[in-house]
Structures are given as structure tokens and as C-alpha cells.
Amino acid sequence: MVQRYVMSIDQGTTSTRCILFDARGRLVSVVQREHHQHFPRPGWVEHDATEIWRNVTRIVPDALAQAGVGAGQVVGLGIANQRETTVLWDRRTGAPVSRAIVWQDTRTDQMIEYLSREPAAKRVRELCGLPLTTYFSAPKIRWLLQSTPGLQERAERGEVLFGTIESWLIWNLTGGLHVTDVTNASRTMLMNLRTLSWDNELLEFFDIPRAMLPEIRSSTEVYGTTTTVVPGIRIAAALGDQQAALFGQTCFAPGEAKCTYGTGSFLLLNTGQNLVLSKHGMLTTVGFKIGDEPAVYALEGSIAVTGSLVQWFRDGLELISSAPEIETLARTVEDNGGCYIVPAFSGLFAPHWHSEARGVIAGLTSYITKGHLARAVLEATGWQTREVVDAMNADSGLALSTLKVDGGMTADNLLMQFIADVLDVPVVRPMVAETVSLGAAYAAGLSVGYWPDLEGLRRNWHRAGQWLPAMAPSRRDTEYAQWRQAVELTFGWMRPSTNTARPPRTDLIEVILDDHRQIEHLLRELRNEDADRTSLLAELSAVLTAHFTATERILHKRVGIDVTALSEEDLEDAVNAHIRDEERLLLNELRRSLSPSDRTALGRAFRHLSS
């Protein structure tokens, strides 16, 4: 009998891998190629979509050759891909209109700042489950359309197409099929999470023409057949990489979760057909959708600093020479000696959301050695996982029963045991470490009937190792309390500068803009639950009253906002509308109509009244 195999392509942020799996889900061949990272400006990250496609055309035949397998023996291809990365290409020539903007790219931060002041911004999260930040595709598309002359019109005519990476690969493999899978679509900020279709309100909000978008399809279905590279292979599944890992870890039922421990870490919890909007800043996303069955949703929590804390310990402090040695060093002591490290290197993310926080090493005494510090480094990953799991349990009403783990840090036994201890659930490592590729292969195999059902896939999944909780509950509680105390120490470290170093600005436009930024800062502070709200409200009220008075007297413009009469929420809306209108219309007009000397004179007068 001729052996048959499933093929997966994992198109990741730094490399692309093609892996063949056999009927028992075991690796048969692996071929990998890296692609270039382009950093044209600070904060910008780009990939050449053509280079990625060229790599695919090489690794697919190589993977077949390595295993001595013909295309006829491949039952289907599954694609997993880096999420959110945005490619725009010409429908006629198939050539990208520019380099792809990668998920990490932050060029759209000002656009996000501006968009978040729109009244409709509140609706974004409700509709697509994602917070308005730079990671997702919609702002990247907007940026490309805005910055390339004529592109908006071409997109409206359907001459320019958008796709995340799996769309781009399917388009090329099939010679022109323009589709996306629902998990990838759920990362664009343009898809309605309930209807699983492109949402008019979101398209309008980001001003993105529908004609450029791919058709949204299930994660597992045969989209088409390859016509090039190795023709005749059915493309049977596509998933975003973290969702593919969820699938590869066979987290098919509500309450099942996986965490991938790398530089940063991604925890996804299956919430079944129940779409949970988080109150703690987790993302809501589509986990997978099998054929015509209803979509399965997931909550996603990311931890910014996990493996990178170990790297810092190695490269920044030079206390170890390789990452795995941290376990050796940590085992030279019995416990953390009362020392805690909170790695808020660029603020604290979910579930705290303090961008002004910065990291601390707390509990230092002369007793502390580098061994204790090593423990504290590993424990930081454990406690951060605990915080995300607690938030997810609270959001979903589900109680996590087991955590399935993958990624490089799973080689650290001390860490895995600690995670089991602090979560108080078993932590399980699967035998196939390549969970992303395996997930794509599972989905494709399921789609073409190579594997009969989800139970069949579960039988393929094997435990390679398991860590059982062994920490006394009282110790867990005390340690967690200590950790939270350390976390609180990080809050409020970065204070916005109060411009003491700089002489006060006198240009009218700049004076008004300074006022606006100060007002926005106060509004943001009010959203922080730990803030001293009474004094903040008093300060806001004083600043607003002075600013509006100056606006009415100097600019002769009626503001019409009664600071004392409005509710906090209405006041915020009205103030945001005032700022938006003024910056869009009035300030631009003043820039054109006023002479520099007028601007300085009026600026002085405005500042005098408003401060």
C-alpha cells in the first residue's frame, strides 16, 4: 500500500517551514528557510512577500524530496501563518504594491491615537473583540492606502487586493483564489465576531473598501488545488499560528488551554461557541471553525516578557552563559529567598494595563544570591501565567483543568513544575514539539478525511511529560500575595514630564495642543482604577474651565460644554469631540490665516487665561 502524508506550511515571523506528517502525526521531513527582516525606520518592520513566496516554492519540493514522497501521496496541505501581517498586491500582475507590514510594526501608533478619539472607537472592541492597537491589520491597510497616491481608488475598483500571509500564499499556490480563513480574518479588526463576515461599521471606521478584501472561509475546508510549485495538492486548511498551536495541542473542548512559552508567551483558552468579551483586557478571537460547524471562540492573553527575561539575565546581567543554565543556577538555592522580579520592561499588559509601570526587583536583602535572582526570573513567568489564567477564568466562568504547554521554555523542568504549582493544575508537554505545524496538518487531514474526527486526532496526541502541582495551598497563597505586592510597586514609575525644563510655548497652536494633551492625559488617568479620582476630577474640571474660557475669549468660539453639569462619561465624549473638531478644522484654519506674530501674541494671551 502506498503511504500517504499530510503537508503543513508554517509561515512564521522569521522563517517558513514545510513539514510532512504521517498518519500517526509523526514528523517525516522538515525543511526550513529564513527570510529577511527589514527595519527601514525606528519602529517599522517589513517583510518582502515575494521573498516569502519564493521560499515556499523551494521548501515544498525539498520536503517531498527529503521524504522521497510524490505529490500524489500528499492528501492535503494545511497552512499556519504569522498573524496580522498585511500584504497588498495588484490583482492583475500579482505583484505586491509594497513590502508587507509586519504585526510588530508600530508606525500606525499616531493613527491609533487619533482613531481612538473618534466616537465610534468604542464600538470596535464590541464588534471585533480586539482593542484598538497597532498590531492588527486594519490600521496597516489604512496606512498603506493613505501613503500611496492613487491606491485608495485602485482598491475601491478591486484592482488592489488585501490579504494576511495565508491569503497571499493561497492566491499564489492556486493562481488567483482570493480567500482567507476565519481565524486570520478575526485578527484584521474588520470582521464581525458574531456574523463572521466583514463588518460595514468597521470598514467605514477604517475607511477600507470591501472590494479589496478576500472571501472569509472556514479553517478546515478545501479552498482549492495547487496549480504551481507542486501541482495537484489540495489546500485543505488555514489557521493563524497561535490558533494552529491550540488545534495541534488538541484543545478542542471549552476550558482546554495551551500556552506557548517563547520570548513572549501566548495563552489561548477555548471558550466553545460562547463568545466572551473580556473585562480584563484579554482578546477575543476565533479559535477555529471546522467546515460548516459553528465557530469555536477563544480568549487570548499574551505575556510580553518571559523568555526575554532569561535573555536579559544572560546578556544584560551576564550571570549565565546560556539560557538553559538558569535552571542550574536556580537549583543552587531552595527558594527565592523573598526576592521577586516583575519584568514590566515596557509597562504591564494584561490584566493590569499600566503603561507607566516599570520593572522592579523587590525584597532584596544581603542574603540574596544570584541563585535567588535566577529563581525569581523563572517564577516571574509562572506568576504572569497565573494572572492571565485567573483573568480568563473570571471572564469565561470556566475553570482551567490542565495547561498544555509548548515552546522552548518547556525544556526547563523547574519552571514547568513551578507553573503547575502556582496554577494548581497539571501542566502537560506534548510529544510533538512542533505544535503550530502539527495543528495545520491536523486541520488539513481532518478536512480531507485522512483523520476521521477530533477524537481520532486526540488519539494521535501523546503526553511526553507531565508536572503535577505539589505546592502547599498556604504557601501558594502567601507567595502570590507577595508577588502582587511586588507588582504594585511597579505602578506609576514613569511620570509624564511637566515641561519644567522647557520654556513655556507661546505659539497659539502649540499652546492649544499642549492643553489638549494635558486634558487627554487626565482623562486617561481617570480610567486607572487605582488613581486618586477626587483630586484628578478636580484638576480636570479646573483645566477644562480655564481652557474653555480662553477658547471663548481669544478664539471667539462658543464651546457649549458645561463642565459641572455633565456625567463623567458624557463629559469625556464631549471633550473628545471638542478636541477632534478643533484640531481638524479650527487649528488648520488658524495655521493658514494667522501671521507668526499674531500667533505668538494670541498664544501668550491664551496661556495667560488658561493657566
Partner 1 sequence: MPGPIQSIERAAAILRLLARGSGRLGVGEIAESLELAKGTAHGILRTLQGVGFVEQDKDSGKYQLGAALLHLGTSYLDVNELRSRAINWADALAARSGEAVRIGAPLEGRVLVVHHVFRPDDSLQTLDVGTLLPLHATALGKVLLAFDAALVASLRGGELEAYTRRTLASPTAVKRALAKVREAGWAGELGEMTPGEAGIAAPIRGHGGIVVGALGISGAVERLCDPDGSPKATLLGYVRDAARAVSRDLGASRW
Interacting residue ranges for partner 1, rule: CB under 8 A: 24, 26-27, 322-328, 408, 410-413, 431-433, 462-468
Q: How far is the CB of 258 from partner 1 (least distance, A)?
A: 17
Beta strands 87-90 and 160-163 are antiparallel
Q: Are 242 and 282 in contact (CB under 8 A)?
A: no
Q: Are 235 and 77 in contact (CB under 8 A)?
A: yes
- Copy the grid coordinates of residue 114: 487619533
Distance CA 19, CA 30 (A): 5
- Copy the grid coordinates of residue 179: 480567500
User: 93 vs 322, which CB is nearer to partner 1?
Assistant: 322
Q: How far is the CB of 170 from partner 1 (least distance, A)?
A: 29
User: 31 vs 100, which CB is nearer to partner 1?
Assistant: 31
Q: How far is the CB of 432 from partner 1 (least distance, A)?
A: 7
Is the sign of the CA dihedral 81, 84, 90, 95 positive or negative? negative
311 labelled as ligand-binding? Answer: yes
Beta bridge partners of 265: 261, 303
User: 21 vs 288, which CB is nearer to partner 1?
Assistant: 21
Distance CA 254, CA 221 (A): 22
116 labelled as ligand-binding? Answer: no
User: 87 vs 326, which CB is nearer to partner 1?
Assistant: 326
Distance CA 493, CA 358 (A): 6
Q: How far is the CB of 63 from partner 1 (least distance, A)?
A: 16
User: 198 vs 467, which CB is nearer to partner 1?
Assistant: 467
Chain center to CA of 339? 30
User: 27 vs 394, which CB is nearer to partner 1?
Assistant: 27
> What burial class does residue 143 get, using C-beta atoms within 10 Å of its C-beta: 0-12 exposed, 13-18 middle, 19+ buried?
middle
Q: How far is the CB of 67 from partner 1 (least distance, A)?
A: 14
Q: How far is the CB of 16 from partner 1 (least distance, A)?
A: 19
84 labelled as ligand-binding? Answer: yes
Q: How far is the CB of 539 from partner 1 (least distance, A)?
A: 53
User: 6 vs 489, which CB is nearer to partner 1?
Assistant: 6
242 labelled as ligand-binding? Answer: yes
123 labelled as ligand-binding? Answer: no
Crossing angle of helices 241-248 and 435-447, in 10° steps, is 80
CA atoms within 13 Å, Cβ hemisphere of 67: 26
73 DSSP assignment: G
The candidate with the shortest Cα–Cα distance to 485, out of 308, 323, 363, 594, is 363
Q: How far is the CB of 247 from partner 1 (least distance, A)?
A: 19
User: 323 vs 587, which CB is nearer to partner 1?
Assistant: 323
End-to-end CA distance of the chain: 85
Q: Are 473 and 480 in contact (CB under 8 A)?
A: no
Q: How far is the CB of 26 from partner 1 (least distance, A)?
A: 5
User: 194 vs 331, which CB is nearer to partner 1?
Assistant: 331
DSSP code string of 578-599:
HHHHIIIIIHHHHHHHS-HHHH
User: 21 vs 168, which CB is nearer to partner 1?
Assistant: 21
In angstroms, the Cα distances linking 235 to 247, 352, 495 are: 17, 41, 52
Distance CA 135, CA 105 (A): 7
Residue 437's identity, in one-letter code, is S
User: 463 vs 517, which CB is nearer to partner 1?
Assistant: 463
User: 350 vs 420, which CB is nearer to partner 1?
Assistant: 420
Q: How far is the CB of 409 from partner 1 (least distance, A)?
A: 9
- DSSP element (H, E) containing 39: none
CA atoms within 13 Å, Cβ hemisphere of 182: 25
Distance CA 290, CA 300 (A): 19
Q: Identify the residue whose cell numbers are 509594497.
A: 98
SS3 1: coil
**330-335: long-range contacts at Cβ-Cβ below 8 A with a sequence spacing of 24 or more?**
330/371, 330/374, 330/375, 330/377, 330/378, 330/414, 331/371, 331/414, 332/369, 332/371, 332/374, 333/369, 333/371, 333/372, 333/375, 335/372, 335/375
480 labelled as ligand-binding? Answer: no
Q: How far is the CB of 327 from partner 1 (least distance, A)?
A: 4
263 labelled as ligand-binding? Answer: yes
Q: How far is the CB of 413 from partner 1 (least distance, A)?
A: 5
DSSP code string of 106-119:
-TTHHHHHHHTTST
- Copy the grid coordinates of residue 389: 489564567
529 labelled as ligand-binding? Answer: no
Q: How far is the CB of 431 from partner 1 (least distance, A)?
A: 5
83 labelled as ligand-binding? Answer: yes
User: 189 vs 378, which CB is nearer to partner 1?
Assistant: 378
234 labelled as ligand-binding? Answer: no
Beta strands 74-81 and 5-11 are parallel
Which residues are documented as binding site for ADP? 13, 17, 263, 307, 408
Per the annotation, where are the binding residues for sn-glycerol 3-phosphate? 13, 83-84, 135, 241
| Residue list for the binding site for ATP | 13-15, 263, 307, 311, 408
**Binding-site entries:** 13-15, 17, 83-84, 135, 241-242, 263, 307, 311, 408
Binding residues for glycerol, by number, are 83-84, 135, 241-242
